[in-house]
Structure 1
Amino acid sequence: MLDIQQVIPLPEAEQYQVAVREKSLEQEAARESERDLTRYDLTIGDDAYPNLPKRRLIHAIVGEAFKQGVPVSAIESSVPWRGNLFLSADGDLDETGFENAIGGEQTRYFTADDELFHVDGKTYALSNQWGPRTLLAVDAILSHMPRADMIQYDATSGVADEVTYGTHVIRRRDTGTIEVEQDGVLQLPAKPALRELAAKLGVSLQNGSGKPLNSRALGAGVINAIRAL
């Protein structure tokens, strides 16, 4: 290996190394500033998952794909540019059991108990490293799903309305998506939290025809009830 100090005298070599480090930091800062931090509102049937970063969006999509019977191989083939899309281990494992099976903690994968997928006698952890082609992966996975029409996602928009009730904050986005926070923690999906609030506020869970309200309609009723207090 050629020593830079053999080519450049020591003071100049030190200045060169500092310049290289500074250039590297500038490039990293530029990459950070260019990173797409768009968040997304996801709806699966009546369940709303608002304000998701990309990695959470695709985790939810993969989870629904498994629920609809899409095999692991189809999901992997949907994202051919990603090697090691999943880590897997035999058995129906929790976080501790999974990490023991694969040789320790894996920070680049979703491994919490409620993040693991259990399919055909195996436990799978999805990669949490996602970048510019995340939406391509989402759409490719959706193409394998028999009930893809029940799924919709849009970029999270501005806040159109927001109310506070005890430890809860309920907000409606410009798109109509309802978000519920409790003690600063976003409740996903929002509908169970909305049902609890509706029960406390005397808001009906059904429309005039006796059919269950969807998250947007129920959220609007909850917001109106809080404003009327």
Structure 2
Amino acid sequence: MLALVVAGLLFLVAAWQLTPDVDDARDRVDARLAAAAAPALSGPLPGRLSAAVLATEDSHFHGHPGVDPRGVVRAARGALTGVDLGGSTLHQQLAKNLYENGANGFTDRVSAVVLALKLDRAWSEEEVLRMYLDDAYFGHGFTGATAAAQGYFGVPPGELDWAQAALLAGLLQAPSAYDPVQHPDRAAARQEHVLDRLVDVGALTRAQADEVAADPWGLVAG
């Protein structure tokens, strides 16, 4: 056991040296936005959308150093088998998108873990979440939360209601499959999952979530 621990630490040190610094993370996000002709978030982070994304994608965001120990085993198994078993934090997802071009090979997943730790050291939680929301692709040609909120609903991200925020958060897993314009039934089912997660983390009561599920989306995209 001691030998395994020592080997793991040595491997982590080596990986730390081999992976790039992440001081340019914001520049990389801005370059993606520029390529998509999409605006960055301005002002405070959008409260409802942030809550919905965290509840669904990384409910322990505020309590881990970039990598959630509870997801390490699943991530390790996924790296070995090539099957994504979940467990990736927002930091890991952002690292994979910015530095690994979304690759899912064994070395890419190991690199994403190390880069996630570096992101946590170099950037505040608010900065990481802002970069994640700016970098995310929400389908229908919308890159970043600002373009998605305006494109789908005609409102800035800070004015999204719970129904709209839950819908957008649900798109992150598979934007094309859950496109509310092309696949409204799938989008509604995914929105319900997000609302269930918001109930699980205490952001909404069950009664509130049920009311939100019945609210119209107010789509303007066509």
TM-score (norm 1): 0.23
Relative to total residues, which structure has the larger strand share, 1 or 2?
Answer: 1
Q: Relative contact order, CA 8 A, sep 6+: which one is greater?
A: 2
Rg larger in structure: 1
- What is the TM-score of this pair, normalised by structure 2? 0.24
Q: Normalized per residue, which structure has more helix?
A: 2
